[in-house]
Amino acid sequence: MINLSVIPKEPGCYIYRDIEKNIIYVGKAKNLKKRISSYFSKKNHDTKTQNLVKSIFDIEFIVTNNEIEALLLESILIKKHSPKYNIDLKDSKNYAYIYISEENFPRIGISRNKSEKGKFYGPFISAKERDYVLDILKKTFKIRSCKNMQKRPCLRHHIKNCTAPCTGNIASKKYLDQIKKAEYILKGNIESLISKLKDEMIIKSKNLQFEEAILIREEISAIENLKTKQNINRQKNYDEDIIAYIEKDGNIHIIVFNVLKGTLYDKKYFKFEYVENFFEEFLIQYYSENRPPSEIIISGFPKDFEDFSKEYNPNALLEFLSKKRESKVSFKVPKKGEKKELLNLAMKNLEILVLGNDLKVEALKNKLMLENPPKVIECFDISHLSGNFTVASMVQFRDGKADKKNYRRYKIKTVTGIDDFKSISEVVFRRYSKLLKENSKMPDLIIIDGGKGQLSSAFYELKKLNLKIPVVSIAKREEEIYAPGTENALPITKNEKASLFIQEIRDEAHRFAITYNKLLRKKDLIK
C-alpha cells in the first residue's frame, strides 16, 4: 500500500504498480520523496497522469548514489518492463530503403521490409530523391535490379545499364567491386570514392588501358553530378541529431533527423500522449536504444522541462548521454546558420506530417477571406459522353482530407444534350434542398468545377434556397478561381497552397464523376 512517509529524499528510481501488481510506470528523481509526493499533491495533472495516479496501488523505490545512476537504471527498467504509462516509442512510419541483397551477384532495389537478408540504406524521406539516387547507382555501376537472374540478358544489358551477371560474362570480384562503390555513396563517403576512382583512372591511363579509364571517368562524372544534386556532403567531422516536436490535441509528435558527418541519413517519427516532462523521458528512452550523437540540435526545451530542471539538474541528463556515447554530448539551440536551417527543415517536415491538412484549410480560409476555416467542403463536377450518360459527382472533404462515406453521385434527370450550366443547377438544387428537408448541417464551402457560367448557375440555386454558403469555381485551363459577383479571377496563383488544395478536391470530384459515367456506359453496353 502507499506510504509516502517511508520514501527517502535521495536520488533514485520509483516504480508504480497497479492492484494486480503489474508495473505501470517507472520514473527517476533527484529527490524521490519530493517527486513522488507531487503526484498526489498536485491537482492540475494532464488526463493521462490523472489516470496513472488513480491506478497506483503500490510504490517501490531504488535509491542510487546519484542522478546518473538513476537515469541508467530507469532506462533499463523501462526497457525490461515496458510499463503502460511510460511513452511507447514505436516508429510510426515505414519509409522505403535502398536495398542491396545478400547474394553472389547482389541486386539493388527498394524495400520496406528490413527482415530480408541484405543491407539497407535510408530510409529516404523523399521518394523522388530515392528514385533518382537508385537510378544513378544502377546506371553508373551497372548493377542488376531483377529479382530472379534469367539465363539470357534483359533489355537493361542491351542498353548498357547492366553487366548481366546472368550470362556469366563478369567475374564475381569485379561485380562486387561495383557494389562496393554503390555502398560508398549510400554511406555518404562520396569524396573518398571519387579520390579512389581518380587514382584508378590515372593507373589505367599509364597502363594504356584507355577504354577502362574512360569508363572510370564517366563514373566520376556521374557521382559528382549526384553529389551536386543532393548537396549531401557538408564537411563535418561530427554527428548530429536534429529534434523537433509539436503538441496537438493532447498528443506529442516528435521527429528526429539523424545526420552522420554532415549527411542526413535517417528520419524517425514518434507520436504519444502528452505527459509531464515528456521531453526528458523521450530523450532517455530514445538514447537508451540509439547511440547519442556528439550534438543534439533542438529549438528549445518545453516549459515543463525547464520547470522540472529547477529541481532536477539538466547536466545529469547530459552526463547520462555522454556515458552512453562514451564521449561528450551537448545540446545546441541555434539562432541562425546551417544548424538553424536543418532545424527549420525538420520542423517543416513535421508540420507537413502533423499539420498538413490544417495548413491547407487555413490557407484556403485566408485566401478566400472566409470568417471561419472551411472544415467541410463539397465539390461538384459534371461528366458526359457527347451529351449522353450525363452524371454529376459530389465529393466531400472534411478537415482537409477526403471523407468518402459522404460522396454522392447523381444521374442528371432534367437536362438533355450538352448543358453543363443546367446540369450544375439541377444537382446543386437536389443536394441542398434535401439537406434542408433533413435539417442536416450545411458545408462551409462549395466548389464548382468550371468557370463563371457554372458558378452563376450554382449561386442562383443557392439563392433560391435562401442559403448563404460561400461558393467558388475553378476553371481547368489556367486553374483560375472565381467567386460570385467578381468579373475577374481571384488573385490566387495556381501554385499557391490554397489553389493546390482546391485543385486536389476538384480532381477527386472529376475522378469520381468519370468513374460513374464509365459504369453507366458499361451497363448500357452489356444490356
Rounded Cα–Cα distance for residues 507 and 502 (Å): 9
Return the CATH fold of 4-81. Answer: GIY-YIG endonuclease (3.40.1440)
| Percentage of the residues of the chain whose pLDDT score is greater than 90 | 30
Rounded Cα–Cα distance for residues 226 and 189 (Å): 13
In the CATH scheme, what architecture does the domain 376-526 have? 2-Layer Sandwich (3.30)
Rounded Cα–Cα distance for residues 356 and 360 (Å): 6
Mean pLDDT of 94-107: 80
pLDDT tens per residue, range 177-203: 888 888 877 776 777 777 877 888 888
Three-state SS for 190?
helix
Residue 304 C-beta-side C-alpha neighbours within 13 Å = 11
User: Could you tell me where in the chain the CATH 3.40.1440.10 domains are found?
Assistant: 4-81
User: Could you tell me where in the chain the CATH 3.30.420.340 domains are found?
Assistant: 376-526
pLDDT tens per residue, range 408-459: 999 998 888 888 899 999 999 999 999 999 999 999 999 999 999 999 999 9
Task: Report the candidate in 91, 489, 497 with the shortest Cα–Cα distance to residue 271.
Answer: 91
Residue 231 has pLDDT above 50, yes or no: no
Angle in degrees, CA 498, 503, 508, rounded to 5:
130
In terms of C-beta density within 10 A (0-12 exposed, 13-18 middle, 19 or more buried), how is residue 210 classed? Answer: exposed
Residue 460 φ then ψ, to 5°: -60, -40
Do 28 and 53 form a contact (C-beta atoms < 8 A)? no
Whether the full predicted model's pTM is greater than 0.85, yes or no, is: no
pLDDT tens per residue, range 344-384: 888 887 887 788 788 889 999 999 999 999 999 999 999 98
Which comes out higher in pLDDT, residue 351 or 69?
A: 351
Q: Decide if domain 240-352 falls under CATH 3.40.50.
A: no
Mean pLDDT of 381-403: 89
Residue whose cell numbers read 452563376: 456
Residue 463 has pLDDT above 60, yes or no: yes
